[in-house]
Chains A and B, each alone.
Chain A
Amino acid sequence: MTMLTLRSPVFSFRLPLRRVVVNALLAALAALLIVAGLFGGSYPVSFADFMAVLNGTTDAVTEMVVLDYRLPRILTALGVGLAFGLAGEMIQTLLRNPLASPDIIGFTAGAGTGALFTVAILGTTAFVVPGAMFGGLGAALIVIGLSWRRGIAPGQIVLIGIGITLTLGVIGDLLMTRLDATSAYELMKWLVGSLHSRSYADVQIIWLGLLILAPVAFWHQFILARASLDEPVALGLGIALNRSRMVTLGLAVGLVAVAVSAAGPLPFVAFVSGPIAHGLNRASRPTLLSAALVGAIITLFADMVSQTALSGMSLPAGVFTALIGAPVLIWVLIIQSRKNRL
């Protein structure tokens, strides 16, 4: 356990060397995926082409591929992955439960049901995103409101979240059977989550959200790490627990909301990023930066696979985030249990 000490008059930190290395490697991997996504693929673009695009001195096709197609898509994937990773790690740390994810606060189920409602009532898929936001935020508020008991009670959140998620899930399933086949199919694709044909509007949503929420999240990490101790210990250390929990939930809901509105639910990213980051760092949670980077890597990689390997089948990225995330979680699990000789 080599530790690095960083000290100056304004700041002082104690960082495990392992965490620095892990984060650097994760960042490098994310960067590699971004580069591969920009330059590789079915229409290879060289670095010179890319610079030419930025200078505005290239042919229309290359410019379209890079500026209209790849760049917004990759920027969205990166931002959404970071946001899901952060939100997942915050919720799992708050609830001290590796099985928790932002799904548990009802957001995803609410978003799905909201989206389905707009289609079922309005008969068009044009308002899916506003419907999803409304449903998601509404469900999260209901879960948090119902678990209020002179303050937020984390134990209650899990139970009430399960109740709300179950109910909303079934309402969604029922609505699904009441739709015509085409709308059902379109919605199915949205519900899985896709990065296909992202626009700069999506990029704006997710990056504006990240710009505001991510710094607060990293600032809040100090409190979050202490609020996740046993309640009497945390209170004894002078942590304002209730405020800390509200901030954590607010940040997580906000991050998931911008991510879902930019790319749909993208299953498993939020759920799996934290445990993987935890396994890599071999440190107590939260490790927000690592989790965010893992989320970004999974999303970027899923996006790449969804475009290249099975391009003829046009599967959305959401299928692959789960297909990638699940085996990785299994692998982390096996490594951990071997280490603990369970």
Chain B
Amino acid sequence: MKRNTSSHLATLAIMTTLGLVLAFVSLWFGVRPLPTSTVWQALVAFDPSNTEHMIVHELRLPRAMAALIGGGALGMAGALMQSLSRNPLADPGLLGVNGGAALGVVISIWVLGATAQSQLVFPALAGAGLAATLVLLLGGAVRPRGPDPTRLILAGAAVGALFLALTWAILILSRESLDTYRFWVLGGFTGITKSDLVALLPLFAVSLPMGLAAAFLLAPLILGDDTARALGVRVGFVRVFSTVAIVALCGLTVSMAGPIAFIGLVVPHLVRPLLGADLRLVAIGSFLTGAALAVLADILGRLILPGQEIEAGATMALIGGPSLILLVRFRREVAL
């Protein structure tokens, strides 16, 4: 199953093209159908006085870009997470960031009366950050040998549940929170504005390279801690760094778009048969495939029910759940 570098490069190029093409296609769809030529014009010859150009620039382009970046971040985080925990079922959501973000969201609705999606971004980020810090501390990141993967997952589950319980408590205390929360929790790129995206981009610009670096650092750990140490790898540092990268990627995405299930869990499994076991390639491939998949979900959500939009996060899970089952059923031995 050894393939040469050029075929890997070709695969990556196809994934990139697919993502970009889908992103372009997603610019067509919306409440107001726009012809391809107008979309193209808006991109290459922007005219601020043209309403249709403004729609593309202010709404659809940020949305498509958010889907690309968010989906990519989740895909990459998933690949890192599965490698870090040596558990093919590990989902970056296990690190508790989603619970933290949810708590941030409901607190900001309850206390500050926030309702618009863009008002929820930074509370969500704060909550995700708090949850992530707790998970890292409890997961043993401060110990000299770095976090123990199993303990990290258990700590993530426990912290996630703790924050979820607090979220429920607030939801029951304040009906207004529930009214906003039940839409936020579906996860999607619908309400993202240009200014949200601009505010979050610098953070993504830091954490995506971190994720890539983590992939390079984690790759030797696949052979086991002892072998890695013998090769001169500082295992503890690598673990802490990778965990921070994963948490940053997921935390940013959940703040931007709400919880989006499944991409982190399944994308690495889609990518591995194409690119092999090298984590560095898998992480890049997962970024590209995750991006394409998120955009696809965003498009499909606009098409499934005529006249209604289903949020990308929900669409993702609706497609993802059954396809995971099909994958499990029809491949003889799923190496999950």
Q: How far is the CA of A189 from the CA of B153 in the complex (A)?
A: 28
Given contacts A174-B314, A326-B162, A333-B151, contact A185 B175 (CB under 8 A): yes
Contact assessment for A170 and B186 in the assembled complex, using a CB-CB cutoff below 8 Å? yes
Residue of B nearest to A175 (CB): B182
Contact assessment for A185 and B178 in the assembled complex, using a CB-CB cutoff below 8 Å? yes
Is A45 an interface residue, CB under 8 A from the partner?
A: no
Given contacts A159-B89, A162-B89, A185-B175, contact A325 B325 (CB under 8 A): no
- Give chain B nearest CB distance to A227 CB in angstroms: 22
Contact assessment for B165 and A337 in the assembled complex, using a CB-CB cutoff below 8 Å? no
Is B154 an interface residue, CB under 8 A from the partner?
A: yes
Is B336 an interface residue, CB under 8 A from the partner?
A: yes
Q: How far is the CA of A314 from the CA of B173 in the complex (A)?
A: 8
Is A316 an interface residue, CB under 8 A from the partner?
A: yes
A residues less than 8 Å from B171 (CB atoms): 188
Contact assessment for B157 and A99 in the assembled complex, using a CB-CB cutoff below 8 Å? yes
B residues less than 8 Å from A170 (CB atoms): 186, 261, 313-314, 317-318, 321
Interface size on B, residues (CB 8 A): 46
Q: Per-residue CB proximity of A310-342 to B under 8 Å, as 1/0?
A: 000111101110110111011001100100001
A residues less than 8 Å from B336 (CB atoms): 159
A residues less than 8 Å from B166 (CB atoms): 323
Q: How far is the CA of A325 from the CA of B160 in the complex (A)?
A: 12
Q: Per-residue CB proximity of A159-194 to B under 8 Å, as 1/0?
A: 110111111111101101100010011001100100
Residue of A nearest to B173 (CB): A313
In the complex, chain B residues 129-159 whose Cβ is within 8 Å of any chain A Cβ: 138, 140, 145, 148, 151, 153-155, 157-159
- Give chain A nearest CB distance to B263 CB in angstroms: 11
Is A107 an interface residue, CB under 8 A from the partner?
A: no
B residues less than 8 Å from A156 (CB atoms): 328
Residue of B nearest to A331 (CB): B158
Is B206 an interface residue, CB under 8 A from the partner?
A: no
- Give chain B nearest CB distance to A321 CB in angstroms: 8
Q: How far is the CA of A342 from the CA of B239 in the complex (A)?
A: 14
Residue of B nearest to A321 (CB): B165
Residue of B nearest to A342 (CB): B148
Given contacts A173-B185, A177-B183, contact A322 B328 (CB under 8 A): no
Is A102 an interface residue, CB under 8 A from the partner?
A: no
Interface size on A, residues (CB 8 A): 48
Contact assessment for B140 and A342 in the assembled complex, using a CB-CB cutoff below 8 Å? yes
Is A268 an interface residue, CB under 8 A from the partner?
A: yes
Given contacts A176-B182, A326-B165, contact A166 B320 (CB under 8 A): yes
Q: How far is the CA of A160 from the CA of B186 in the complex (A)?
A: 21
Residue of B nearest to A327 (CB): B162
A residues less than 8 Å from B140 (CB atoms): 337, 342
Contact assessment for B161 and A326 in the assembled complex, using a CB-CB cutoff below 8 Å? yes
Contact assessment for A322 and B161 in the assembled complex, using a CB-CB cutoff below 8 Å? yes
Q: How far is the CA of A308 from the CA of B265 in the complex (A)?
A: 41
Is B164 an interface residue, CB under 8 A from the partner?
A: yes
Contact assessment for A146 and B329 in the assembled complex, using a CB-CB cutoff below 8 Å? yes
Residue among B166, B173, B322, B328 facing the most chain A CB atoms (10 A cut-off): B328
Q: Per-residue CB proximity of B89-105 to A under 8 Å, as 1/0?
A: 10000000000000000
Given contacts A319-B168, A319-B172, A327-B162, contact A181 B179 (CB under 8 A): yes
Contact assessment for B138 and A169 in the assembled complex, using a CB-CB cutoff below 8 Å? no
Footprint of B on A, CB under 8 Å? 98-99, 146, 156, 158-160, 162-171, 173-174, 176-177, 181, 184-185, 188-189, 192, 267-268, 271, 313-316, 318-320, 322-323, 325-327, 329-330, 333-334, 337, 342
Jot down 22 A-B pairs with beta carbons below 8 A, ordered by A: A159-B89, A160-B328, A163-B321, A163-B322, A163-B325, A164-B325, A166-B317, A166-B320, A167-B320, A168-B321, A169-B317, A173-B314, A174-B310, A176-B182, A185-B172, A271-B157, A271-B161, A313-B173, A325-B161, A326-B165, A327-B162, A342-B145
